Amino acid sequence: MVAKRLRIQVAKIKSEIPDANVQRVGEGIAVSFDDKNPDGSKAGLFFANNQYNISSNAQLTVENFKKIFADYPDTDILIEGHTDNVGSESSNMVLSERRANAVSNSVRNEGVAASRISTKWYGEFQPIAENNSSEKKSLNRRVNIVITANEKMKADAKKTAQ
């Protein structure tokens, strides 16, 4: 039952946020983004160098997620902050925390319950591209989202299975 509900949510995310890369991972959903939309505009949850403020495009992504989070209240949301390798490891850790918190605050401001949201930050330690050009570094200045079933969804699934 949990797997079925998550499959339905994956389809909804792909439909509502077509620039999202959506994968089922265990009993969760991992959402990341490519750097640009097909029309060349900036997509997803990316940040300028050494910045943690949310761009207007990133805010649109948050607003699209809000609709999905409202439709699936039995899920928890993990927001993960990342950086490129410019700057010290310690400053990048702080910057990735600020990015995760900025997106978390924006999601809460859209009306999603704080109890559903958690944050983690990784600094420069989980790059998705080599940090050997400005274009590739921009891919590492990001926030990813992981959606998992909460305890209520798991309990409901157990009841249904009996």
Tens-digit pLDDT string for the chain (162 aa) = 788 889 999 999 999 998 899 999 988 999 998 766 555 555 689 999 999 999 888 898 999 999 999 999 999 999 999 999 999 999 999 999 999 999 999 999 999 999 999 999 999 999 999 999 998 999 999 999 999 999 888 888 788 876
Q: Which fold has domain 2-161?
A: 60s Ribosomal Protein L30; Chain: A; (3.30.1330)
> Residue 131: phi, psi to the nearest 5?
-95, 50
Exposed/middle/buried for 130, CB within 10 Å: 0-12, 13-18, 19+? Answer: exposed
Q: Residue 21: is it exposed, middle or buried by C-beta count within 10 angstroms (0-12/13-18/19+)?
A: middle
Q: Report how far residue 10's alpha carbon sits from residue 8's, in angstroms, rounded to the nearest whole number.
A: 5
pTM of the model: 0.91
Under 8 Å between Cβ of 107 and 79: yes
In this prediction, residue 93 carries a pLDDT of 98
pLDDT on residue 118 = 98
Coil, helix or strand at residue 36: strand
Domain ranges of the chain: 2-161
Residue 19, pLDDT score: 85
